[in-house]
Amino acid sequence: MLPDITFFDAIAEAAAAETLPRFRMPVTIDNKQASGFDPVTEADRAAEKAIRQLITERFPEHGILGEEHGDIGLDRDYVWVIDPIDGTRAFISGLPVWGTLVGLYHKGKAVMGMMDQPFTGERFIAKPGESVVKRNGAVSRLSTRQNVSLDQAIMMTTSPMIFPEALEPSYKRVEASVQLARYGCDCYAYAMVASGHIDLVVESDLKPYDVGGLIPLVEQAGGVMTTWTGGRPEMGGTIVASGSAALHEAVLELLNRN
Protein backbone atom coordinates (compact mmCIF):
# COMPACT_ATOMS: atom_id res chain seq x y z
CA MET A 1 0.00 0.00 0.00
CA LEU A 2 1.26 3.47 -0.88
CA PRO A 3 1.74 6.01 1.91
CA ASP A 4 -0.56 8.98 2.29
CA ILE A 5 0.56 12.36 0.98
CA THR A 6 0.71 13.59 4.58
CA PHE A 7 3.72 11.33 5.14
CA PHE A 8 5.61 13.28 2.48
CA ASP A 9 4.63 16.46 4.32
CA ALA A 10 6.17 15.01 7.48
CA ILE A 11 9.35 14.13 5.60
CA ALA A 12 9.56 17.63 4.12
CA GLU A 13 9.14 19.29 7.52
CA ALA A 14 11.77 17.05 9.14
CA ALA A 15 14.27 17.82 6.37
CA ALA A 16 13.51 21.54 6.39
CA ALA A 17 14.22 21.67 10.12
CA GLU A 18 17.80 20.70 9.24
CA THR A 19 18.33 22.55 5.95
CA LEU A 20 16.56 25.88 6.33
CA PRO A 21 18.38 27.13 9.48
CA ARG A 22 21.69 26.41 7.70
CA PHE A 23 20.78 28.08 4.39
CA ARG A 24 22.60 31.36 3.76
CA MET A 25 24.59 30.75 6.91
CA PRO A 26 28.27 29.77 7.33
CA VAL A 27 28.45 26.02 6.78
CA THR A 28 31.25 23.45 6.67
CA ILE A 29 31.76 22.06 3.16
CA ASP A 30 33.42 18.71 2.47
CA ASN A 31 34.51 17.54 -0.97
CA LYS A 32 33.53 13.95 -1.84
CA GLN A 33 35.80 13.81 -4.90
CA ALA A 34 39.55 13.23 -4.91
CA SER A 35 39.72 15.25 -8.13
CA GLY A 36 37.07 17.79 -8.99
CA PHE A 37 34.42 19.20 -6.67
CA ASP A 38 31.43 17.28 -5.31
CA PRO A 39 30.35 19.18 -2.20
CA VAL A 40 28.44 17.88 0.81
CA THR A 41 27.48 19.83 3.94
CA GLU A 42 26.27 19.07 7.43
CA ALA A 43 22.81 20.08 6.19
CA ASP A 44 22.84 17.27 3.59
CA ARG A 45 23.81 14.65 6.15
CA ALA A 46 21.46 15.84 8.90
CA ALA A 47 18.46 16.11 6.57
CA GLU A 48 18.94 12.63 5.16
CA LYS A 49 19.31 11.20 8.66
CA ALA A 50 16.01 12.79 9.68
CA ILE A 51 14.25 11.47 6.57
CA ARG A 52 15.61 7.95 7.01
CA GLN A 53 14.51 7.86 10.63
CA LEU A 54 10.90 8.63 9.69
CA ILE A 55 10.87 6.04 6.91
CA THR A 56 12.44 3.34 9.08
CA GLU A 57 9.95 3.94 11.88
CA ARG A 58 6.89 3.99 9.61
CA PHE A 59 7.93 1.49 6.92
CA PRO A 60 10.61 -0.82 8.35
CA GLU A 61 9.96 -3.33 5.57
CA HIS A 62 10.90 -0.83 2.83
CA GLY A 63 14.34 -0.33 1.31
CA ILE A 64 16.25 2.96 1.18
CA LEU A 65 18.61 4.34 -1.46
CA GLY A 66 20.24 7.49 -0.10
CA GLU A 67 22.97 9.78 -1.35
CA GLU A 68 24.75 10.39 1.95
CA HIS A 69 24.17 7.39 4.22
CA GLY A 70 24.20 4.33 1.97
CA ASP A 71 21.61 1.81 0.84
CA ILE A 72 19.58 -0.92 2.49
CA GLY A 73 17.14 -3.45 1.03
CA LEU A 74 17.35 -2.44 -2.62
CA ASP A 75 15.81 -5.79 -3.59
CA ARG A 76 12.58 -5.05 -1.68
CA ASP A 77 9.32 -4.23 -3.47
CA TYR A 78 9.26 -0.68 -2.11
CA VAL A 79 12.41 1.44 -2.07
CA TRP A 80 12.69 5.08 -1.00
CA VAL A 81 15.14 7.20 -2.99
CA ILE A 82 16.52 10.21 -1.11
CA ASP A 83 18.53 13.27 -2.08
CA PRO A 84 18.41 15.52 1.00
CA ILE A 85 19.71 18.54 -0.92
CA ASP A 86 19.67 18.27 -4.67
CA GLY A 87 21.68 21.27 -5.81
CA THR A 88 24.23 21.50 -2.99
CA ARG A 89 26.25 23.95 -5.09
CA ALA A 90 23.20 26.23 -5.22
CA PHE A 91 22.66 25.74 -1.49
CA ILE A 92 26.17 26.84 -0.57
CA SER A 93 25.88 29.77 -3.02
CA GLY A 94 22.70 31.06 -1.36
CA LEU A 95 20.52 30.38 -4.40
CA PRO A 96 17.01 29.02 -3.65
CA VAL A 97 16.85 26.52 -6.53
CA TRP A 98 17.93 23.48 -4.46
CA GLY A 99 15.40 21.07 -3.07
CA THR A 100 14.83 17.99 -0.96
CA LEU A 101 14.00 15.08 -3.25
CA VAL A 102 12.22 11.95 -2.06
CA GLY A 103 10.85 9.29 -4.38
CA LEU A 104 9.17 5.96 -3.77
CA TYR A 105 9.84 3.10 -6.18
CA HIS A 106 7.57 0.05 -6.43
CA LYS A 107 9.27 -2.88 -8.12
CA GLY A 108 11.72 -0.49 -9.74
CA LYS A 109 9.26 2.14 -11.00
CA ALA A 110 8.84 5.60 -9.46
CA VAL A 111 5.24 5.86 -8.23
CA MET A 112 5.35 8.81 -5.80
CA GLY A 113 7.68 11.75 -5.51
CA MET A 114 8.36 15.09 -3.86
CA MET A 115 10.54 18.14 -4.37
CA ASP A 116 10.40 20.50 -1.40
CA GLN A 117 11.88 24.01 -1.49
CA PRO A 118 11.36 25.33 2.05
CA PHE A 119 12.92 28.76 1.47
CA THR A 120 10.37 29.67 -1.23
CA GLY A 121 7.61 27.73 0.53
CA GLU A 122 6.91 25.45 -2.44
CA ARG A 123 6.26 21.74 -2.05
CA PHE A 124 5.73 19.69 -5.21
CA ILE A 125 4.20 16.24 -4.57
CA ALA A 126 2.96 13.54 -6.93
CA LYS A 127 1.02 10.33 -6.48
CA PRO A 128 -0.69 8.11 -9.08
CA GLY A 129 -3.12 10.29 -11.02
CA GLU A 130 -2.13 13.62 -9.51
CA SER A 131 0.74 16.11 -9.33
CA VAL A 132 0.33 19.19 -7.12
CA VAL A 133 2.17 22.12 -5.60
CA LYS A 134 1.49 23.50 -2.14
CA ARG A 135 2.17 27.21 -1.59
CA ASN A 136 1.20 29.11 1.55
CA GLY A 137 -1.47 26.57 2.43
CA ALA A 138 -3.03 26.53 -1.05
CA VAL A 139 -2.90 23.43 -3.25
CA SER A 140 -2.82 23.66 -7.05
CA ARG A 141 -2.74 20.89 -9.62
CA LEU A 142 0.26 20.81 -11.90
CA SER A 143 -0.03 20.56 -15.66
CA THR A 144 2.70 20.67 -18.30
CA ARG A 145 2.48 22.84 -21.39
CA GLN A 146 1.20 20.97 -24.41
CA ASN A 147 1.34 21.75 -28.15
CA VAL A 148 4.71 23.50 -27.89
CA SER A 149 7.01 22.86 -30.85
CA LEU A 150 10.76 22.48 -30.43
CA ASP A 151 11.48 25.94 -31.85
CA GLN A 152 9.08 27.46 -29.30
CA ALA A 153 10.43 25.52 -26.33
CA ILE A 154 12.14 26.83 -23.21
CA MET A 155 14.90 24.45 -22.15
CA MET A 156 17.02 24.19 -19.03
CA THR A 157 20.08 22.25 -17.94
CA THR A 158 22.13 22.52 -14.78
CA SER A 159 25.16 23.52 -16.87
CA PRO A 160 26.30 22.99 -20.47
CA MET A 161 29.61 21.92 -18.92
CA ILE A 162 28.15 18.71 -17.45
CA PHE A 163 28.17 16.89 -20.78
CA PRO A 164 31.14 14.66 -21.61
CA GLU A 165 32.83 15.25 -24.95
CA ALA A 166 31.03 12.36 -26.64
CA LEU A 167 27.59 13.73 -25.72
CA GLU A 168 28.24 17.44 -26.21
CA PRO A 169 27.34 17.56 -29.95
CA SER A 170 23.98 15.91 -29.26
CA TYR A 171 23.16 18.38 -26.50
CA LYS A 172 24.22 21.35 -28.63
CA ARG A 173 21.87 20.25 -31.44
CA VAL A 174 18.97 20.52 -29.01
CA GLU A 175 20.08 23.84 -27.55
CA ALA A 176 20.45 25.30 -31.04
CA SER A 177 16.88 24.22 -31.87
CA VAL A 178 14.95 25.71 -28.93
CA GLN A 179 13.72 29.26 -28.49
CA LEU A 180 15.42 29.84 -25.13
CA ALA A 181 18.02 27.94 -23.11
CA ARG A 182 18.73 28.68 -19.45
CA TYR A 183 21.19 27.16 -16.97
CA GLY A 184 21.60 26.41 -13.31
CA CYS A 185 18.35 25.32 -11.64
CA ASP A 186 19.06 21.68 -10.69
CA CYS A 187 15.87 19.92 -9.50
CA TYR A 188 13.84 23.13 -9.64
CA ALA A 189 13.90 22.99 -13.43
CA TYR A 190 11.94 19.72 -13.45
CA ALA A 191 9.34 21.26 -11.16
CA MET A 192 9.01 24.09 -13.68
CA VAL A 193 8.36 21.56 -16.45
CA ALA A 194 5.64 19.98 -14.31
CA SER A 195 4.23 23.46 -13.58
CA GLY A 196 4.07 24.42 -17.27
CA HIS A 197 6.57 27.28 -17.03
CA ILE A 198 9.29 25.65 -19.13
CA ASP A 199 9.15 22.77 -21.59
CA LEU A 200 12.33 20.76 -21.46
CA VAL A 201 15.25 19.65 -19.29
CA VAL A 202 18.26 17.84 -20.81
CA GLU A 203 21.02 16.46 -18.56
CA SER A 204 23.56 13.65 -18.21
CA ASP A 205 25.44 11.71 -15.54
CA LEU A 206 22.55 11.72 -13.07
CA LYS A 207 22.19 9.24 -10.22
CA PRO A 208 18.94 7.54 -9.11
CA TYR A 209 18.59 9.96 -6.19
CA ASP A 210 18.82 12.91 -8.63
CA VAL A 211 15.67 11.79 -10.45
CA GLY A 212 13.67 9.51 -8.12
CA GLY A 213 11.56 12.26 -6.60
CA LEU A 214 11.09 14.09 -9.90
CA ILE A 215 9.85 11.39 -12.26
CA PRO A 216 6.30 11.22 -10.81
CA LEU A 217 6.05 15.03 -10.71
CA VAL A 218 6.66 15.29 -14.45
CA GLU A 219 4.72 12.19 -15.51
CA GLN A 220 1.60 12.82 -13.42
CA ALA A 221 1.48 16.42 -14.67
CA GLY A 222 1.28 15.19 -18.29
CA GLY A 223 4.95 15.18 -19.23
CA VAL A 224 7.45 12.53 -20.28
CA MET A 225 10.78 11.66 -18.67
CA THR A 226 13.22 9.08 -20.07
CA THR A 227 16.86 8.45 -20.81
CA TRP A 228 18.25 9.84 -24.05
CA THR A 229 17.53 6.48 -25.69
CA GLY A 230 13.92 6.44 -24.53
CA GLY A 231 14.34 4.04 -21.61
CA ARG A 232 12.93 4.35 -18.11
CA PRO A 233 14.80 7.01 -16.08
CA GLU A 234 14.73 5.51 -12.58
CA MET A 235 18.42 4.62 -12.54
CA GLY A 236 19.55 8.01 -13.86
CA GLY A 237 22.20 8.46 -16.55
CA THR A 238 21.32 10.68 -19.50
CA ILE A 239 17.91 12.24 -18.82
CA VAL A 240 15.30 14.18 -20.79
CA ALA A 241 12.11 15.62 -19.28
CA SER A 242 9.58 17.13 -21.68
CA GLY A 243 6.20 18.74 -21.32
CA SER A 244 4.57 16.62 -24.02
CA ALA A 245 5.04 13.36 -25.88
CA ALA A 246 5.42 15.14 -29.23
CA LEU A 247 8.14 17.44 -27.95
CA HIS A 248 9.89 14.52 -26.30
CA GLU A 249 9.93 12.57 -29.55
CA ALA A 250 11.46 15.54 -31.40
CA VAL A 251 14.19 15.93 -28.77
CA LEU A 252 15.07 12.22 -28.75
CA GLU A 253 15.42 12.32 -32.53
CA LEU A 254 17.98 15.14 -32.27
CA LEU A 255 19.87 13.53 -29.42
CA ASN A 256 20.23 10.24 -31.29
CA ARG A 257 20.94 11.63 -34.77
CA ASN A 258 24.17 10.28 -36.25
Task: Categorize the per-residue pLDDT at 1 as very low, low, confident or very high, splitting at 50, 70 and 90.
Answer: confident
Which CATH number is associated with domain 150-255?
3.40.190.80
pLDDT in tens, 157-187: 999 999 999 999 999 999 999 999 999 999 9
How much of the chain, in percent, has pLDDT values that exceed 90? 91
| First CA to last CA distance, the chain | 45
pLDDT in tens, 224-235: 999 999 999 999
User: What Cα–Cα distance (Å) separates residue 80 from each residue in 61, 85, 122, 207?
Assistant: 11, 15, 21, 14
Rounded-to-integer distance, Cα 157 and Cα 203, Å: 6
Residues 68, 77, 110: CA angle, nearest 5 degrees:
65
Task: Categorize the per-residue pLDDT at 217 as very low, low, confident or very high, splitting at 50, 70 and 90.
Answer: very high
How much of the chain, in percent, has pLDDT values that exceed 70? 98
Rounded-to-integer distance, Cα 258 and Cα 254, Å: 9
Rounded-to-integer distance, Cα 95 and Cα 82, Å: 21
pTM as predicted: 0.95
Q: What is the pLDDT of residue 29?
A: 85
pLDDT of 35 strictly over 80: no
Q: What is the pLDDT of residue 137?
A: 85
> What class has domain 5-141?
alpha beta
Within the chain, all domains assigned CATH 3.30.540.10 are found at: 5-141
Within the chain, all domains assigned CATH 3.40.190.80 are found at: 150-255
